[in-house]
Structure 1
Amino acid sequence: MPRIRDAGAADLVLLPEVEAASDTLLFGRPEIRGDLPLPGPADPQELAAARKVLVAGEPPVAFVRLEEVGGCAHLEQLSVHPAAARAGLGRALVEAAVRWSREAGYPALTLCTFARVPFNAPFYSSCGFAVVQPSGELARVREHEAELGLDRIGERVAMCFDPTPQS
């Protein structure tokens, strides 16, 4: 398994292609309305402005983009290239994101995702996330997603992981 590492400038230019390829995994899913387009991938400048970007592989075949929303760490994007899918990279990146959020002192790690796609909300549930009713800035993220048309593509949920170590 490739090690998880901080993204470098050379990685950032490759990540939009990884995200676009990853999005193809949604095509043809019964939980997704395939006749509606997904928003395009983040560009290298957006990725460079992220709070944190972690990658797997050299060159990268998977990445996680982390932001800050409402005082919490926020998993904005997790993408795994289809050629590298089902190898544990997504789970390894989520675990690295949880570690990073804990080490950075965030009270929680949030995300928004498709509710019924098996490698979306059910996957995150298996990683320790729980569906939450969004409020504050997280609710504004959900509103923005709706404005982008994501809710018309498939049911969306907000989720939260409390990164505080359990005793």
Structure 2
Amino acid sequence: MRIRLATRAELPALQDIERAAGAPFRDLGMPEIADDEPPALDELERYRRAGRCWVAVGEGDEGDEGDEGDEGDLPAAYLLAEPVDGALHIEQVSVHPRAARRGVGRALLAHAADRAREEGLTALTLTTFTDVPWNAPYYARLGFRPLPEADLTPGLRAIRATEAAHGLDRWPRLCMRAPL
């Protein structure tokens, strides 16, 4: 598996990854999340141009090893991030179900942490669902800790307000932080 910046031509594939990765929310009684539209192409392009849209490639479907073609170069997952108040905020990390449970999300987060350190940022932050097994409990296993409301930076408060306006607060959410 390799992690690299996304190409412009791959942006529609990232939308497909987002749709596929969102489908399991339906089984948790969160159909609104499963049906939520992925980021628009112009938004993905903004992250890409800023150098903050990374893809994991080389995680083709089972049995693809040794096949001719470029399946191994298709993105299996992606991560979007941007600096917020001295930290690199993980806006989105999505892994296609065909690549789930292989450490792809962990590798993307480690890559983002390396880039953040290079930029002199002090932490990774994210917002996530509290009770979704592949959300807050997963990030806690990777070293992220919940941030109490009183410790939210102005940028994180603005992100949470935008999420609330989008209806995400229908389910418990929190901010998490991992120091670098």
Aligned length: 158
The alpha-carbon deviation at position 35 of structure 1 amounts to: 4.6
Matched, 1:101 2:100: no
Is residue 150 from structure 1 mapped to residue 146 from structure 2 by the alignment?
no
Higher relative contact order by CA 8 Å / sep ≥ 6: 1 or 2?
Answer: 1
- Indicate the SS of the match to 2:137: helix
- State the structure with more CA Rg: 2
Give the structure 2 partner of residue 53 of structure 1.
53
Distance 1:65 1:35, change over 3 A: closer
The normalised TM-score by structure 1 is 0.88
> In 2, Cα distance between the equivalents of 1:82 and 1:27?
14
Gaps of 5+ in 1: none
Secondary structure of the 2:131 match is coil
Code of the aligned partner of 1:84:
A
The corresponding residue for 2:137 is 122
Q: Secondary structure at the match of 1:61?
A: strand
Residue 21 of structure 1: CA displacement? Answer: 0.9
148, 153, 157: which one aligns with 1:135: 153
Percent identical: 39
List per-residue Cα deviations over 1:102-123 (Å, max 9, x = no partner): 1121122110001111111111
SS at match of 1:86: coil
Q: Does residue 4 in structure 1 map to residue 19 in structure 2?
A: no
Match of 1:70 in 2: 85
Report the alpha carbon displacement of residue 70 of structure 1 after superposing the two structures with TM: 2.4
TM-score, normalisation: structure 2: 0.82
CA distance, structure 1, for counterparts of residue 22 and residue 136 of structure 2 = 15
SS at match of 2:75: coil
Relative to its length, the structure with more helix (as a share) is 2
Question: Partners of 2:77 and 2:83 in 1: how far apart?
Answer: 21
